[in-house]
């Protein structure tokens, strides 16, 4: 019986991958469904459990999102979701996931540094770009200076005001550095077909308890 389910799972994975390879809109739809499922099902208890999990933080292993990657995440998603993020001005709502593994980046925004804490120092997240109005971090291309970005661990809600948006080379890793006396949110995604990166930064303007009112922005 176990062998049957293993074979069935492999066949299902291959079928999903084939569909995604030949249809970009279907691939984007699948990614949105993966993100939505993890986003809407998140609880304080899940966050607490997932915060104990280890992530992959090797930038060199990050590859463009592939059909196989999406298919694997759709069939067996074990990404460690530790929060939610929202940029209402561009209709971006995603789970926050530990690390930069293929599975993590097929699910939402991945933490870029080990042991970073929400609301502390420079909290950096990376996400894939698919199309201008597509899934994952794609909408950030349309964000503007002054827009608000929110993150939560389901216990606190942190609000940041975007003050920096620029296309930078992949070597601009200094943007991930902590800045003394500042609490920042840094968001990174691809630009120019993957040659460069969109980099956005916001400064912390509010830190409030998570309740029905403050969590409404994530609904």
What is the C-alpha to C-alpha distance for residues 100 and 7, in angstroms, rounded to an integer? 28
Residues 6+ apart with CB under 8 A from 29: none
Write down the residue that tokens 């996400």 correspond to. 127
Whether 36 is a known active-site residue: answer no
Whether 111 is a known active-site residue: answer no
% pLDDT > 70, the chain:
89
pLDDT tens for residues 109-125? 999 999 899 999 999 99
> Which CATH number is 2-218 given?
2.40.260.10
Out of 27, 93, 113, 128, the active site residue is 128
Burial class (CB in 10 A: 0-12, 13-18, 19+), 187: buried
Whether 210 has a pLDDT exceeding 90, the answer reads yes
Domain borders along the chain are: 2-218
pLDDT tens for residues 12-54? 555 555 554 546 777 788 889 999 999 999 999 999 999 999 9
Out of 190, 191, 200, 204, the active site residue is 190
């Amino acid at each position: 019986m176990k062998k049957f389910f293993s074979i069935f799972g492999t066949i299902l994975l291959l079928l999903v991958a084939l569909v995604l390879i030949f249809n970009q809109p279907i691939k984007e739809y699948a990614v949105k469904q993966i993100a939505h499922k993890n986003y809407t099902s998140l609880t304080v208890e899940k966050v607490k459990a997932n915060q104990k999990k280890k992530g992959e933080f090797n930038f060199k292993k990050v590859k463009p999102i592939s059909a196989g990657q999406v298919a694997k995440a759709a069939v067996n998603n074990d990404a460690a979701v530790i929060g939610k993020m929202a940029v209402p001005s561009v209709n971006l709502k995603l789970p926050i996931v530990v690390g930069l593994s293929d599975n993590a980046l097929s699910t939402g925004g991945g933490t870029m540094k080990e042991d970073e804490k929400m609301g502390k120092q420079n909290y950096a997240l990376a996400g894939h770009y698919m199309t201008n109005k597509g899934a994952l971090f794609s909408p950030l291309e349309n964000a503007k200076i002054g827009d608000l970005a929110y993150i939560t661990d389901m216990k606190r809600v942190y609000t940041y005001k975007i003050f920096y948006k620029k296309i930078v080379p992949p070597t601009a890793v200094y943007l991930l550095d902590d800045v003394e006396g500042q609490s920042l949110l840094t968001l990174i995604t691809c630009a120019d077909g993957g040659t460069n990166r969109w980099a956005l930064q916001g400064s912390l303007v509010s830190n409030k308890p998570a309740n029905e009112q403050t969590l409404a922005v994530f609904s």
